Amino acid sequence: EPSFPAALKLSEEESWFEAATAWRVLIDTPGGVPEALRSHAGCALGDALLRLGDDEGAVLAFAAAAECEPPFVEASLRLAGALR
C-alpha cells in the first residue's frame, strides 16, 4: 500500500501511471490520506490523469478535491483549466 510521501515522489519523478495508481489507492482507502491533505491528493491525482490523457478522470478528481474541507482554491482553478 502506497504512502503519501511515496505517491508524491512518483508525481515529482513524472511517473504518471504509477503516481495516478498510488493516489487513487490512497484516496480510496479509508484513512489513506489525512483529511487536511485530501484536496492536495485529489489535485495530484488529477494532474497525473491529465498527463495520461484522461481528461474526464482529471475533471472528476479536481471536482472531488474542490469539495474537500478545508477549501483548497487550487483545486477549483485546476478544475476550470481541465474543463477548457
2: how many CB neighbours lie within 10 A of its CB?
A: 19
Taking a C-beta distance cutoff of 8 angstroms, is the pair 41, 26 a contact? yes
* Structure confidence at residue 53 as a pLDDT band (50, 70, 90): very high
Q: What is the pLDDT of residues 5-50, one digit of tens each?
A: 999 999 999 999 999 999 999 999 999 999 889 999 999 999 999 9
Higher pLDDT pick, 41 / 74: 41
pTM of the model: 0.86
pLDDT of residue 75: 73
Write down the residue that cell numbers 474537500 correspond to: 68
Backbone φ and ψ of 60, nearest 5°:
-65, -40
